């Protein structure tokens, strides 16, 4: 099955339980990772922020806590994920904080040089063309704007890596698929996609190739996730 079709299918199927499982399977560390990403992005009151592959809008809402009256735009090509995000902000009374738009990260519907910050949380590994996705993020960012990528990566400490891989490859897919009632092995896709994704140094080089400068990264929680921050030239 085509990757784009498969990704849309599995994320549509788990949309309603996505936030709950993110919190459960990360032992609630996902909130801290998003807060750190926002902090390292130099976001300010009034910053114009675009969050691509936004899913249910969790990272977008974390940015909205800092942008004040300026709504954060979140794009995703999976309608069901956006629908969950829209319903969530309505229940929270935060409809002015988050604007969901159905759009593909490889073809963003915005003019060049529009946003101060363009972010993505746990989604860039799902695009069919990593470099094109990052270039699109760069295109819509203003000069000196920041690109922030929060993504799973592979731990570097041998002992912890061995223990983590047992959890990540064996336990997590079973629990995730069971609770989400997913028959397409959505949570088996997660470890597979992470294993195929570039490591921290490789992603840094790719970001630089795509036109970013001053790229730095921060490993968190013993290296299971990393936050990369770059600046558009």
CA 50 – CA 139 distance, rounded (Å): 12
Q: pLDDT, tens digit, for every residue of 57-92? A: 999 999 999 999 999 999 999 999 999 999 999 999
Residue 132 above 90 pLDDT?
A: yes
CA 11 – CA 22 distance, rounded (Å): 13
* Pairing between β-strand 212-220 and β-strand 141-152 as defined by DSSP bridges: unpaired
Tokens found for residue 34: 């998003």
Query: Given this model, what pLDDT does residue 185 score?
Result: 87
Band of pLDDT at residue 181, cut at 50, 70 and 90 = confident
Residue 191's closest CA among 153, 161, 157?
Answer: 153
Q: pLDDT, tens digit, for every residue of 192-223? A: 999 999 999 999 999 999 999 999 999 999 99
pTM here?
A: 0.95
Residue 53's closest CA among 131, 4, 117, 126?
Answer: 126
Residue 56 above 80 pLDDT?
A: yes
Mean pLDDT computed over 125-130: 97
Query: Given this model, what pLDDT does residue 141 score?
Result: 98
Residue 183 above 80 pLDDT?
A: no
The number of angstroms, rounded, from the C-alpha of 141 to the middle of its chain's C-alpha atoms is 17
What are the phi and psi torsion angles at 147 (to 5°)?
-110, 125
Any residues with CB less than 8 A from the CB of 191 and at least 6 apart, and which?
168, 169, 172, 173
Arithmetic mean of pLDDT over the chain? 95
What are the phi and psi torsion angles at 226 (to 5°)?
-140, 145
Query: Given this model, what pLDDT does residue 25 score?
Result: 84
Residue-range domains of the chain with CATH: 3-154+197-232 (3.40.50.150)
Tokens found for residue 50: 């675009």
């Amino acid at each position: 099955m085509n990757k784009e079709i498969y990704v849309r299918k599995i994320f549509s199927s788990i949309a309603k339980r996505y936030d709950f499982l993110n919190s459960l399977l990360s032992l609630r560390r996902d909130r801290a990772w998003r807060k750190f990403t926002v902090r390292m992005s130099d976001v300010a009151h009034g910053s114009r922020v675009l969050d691509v592959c936004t899913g249910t809008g969790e990272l977008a809402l974390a940015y909205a806590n800092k942008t004040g009256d300026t709504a954060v735009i979140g794009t995703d090509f999976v309608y069901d994920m956006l629908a969950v995000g829209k319903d969530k902000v309505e229940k929270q009374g935060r409809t002015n904080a988050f604007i969901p738009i159905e759009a593909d990260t490889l073809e963003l519907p915005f003019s060049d040089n529009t946003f101060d910050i363009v972010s993505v949380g746990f989604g860039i590994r799902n695009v069919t063309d990593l470099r094109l996705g990052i270039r699109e993020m760069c295109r819509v960012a203003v000069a000196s704007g920041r690109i922030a990528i929060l993504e799973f990566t592979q731990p570097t400490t041998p002992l912890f890596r061995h223990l983590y891989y047992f959890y990540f490859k064996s336990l997590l897919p079973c629990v995730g698929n069971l609770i989400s009632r997913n028959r397409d092995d959505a949570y088996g896709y997660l470890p597979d996609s992470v294993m195929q994704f570039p490591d921290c140094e490789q992603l840094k080089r790719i970001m630089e190739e795509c036109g970013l400068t001053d790229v730095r990264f921060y490993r968190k929680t013993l290296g299971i996730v990393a936050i990369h921050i770059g600046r558009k030239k």
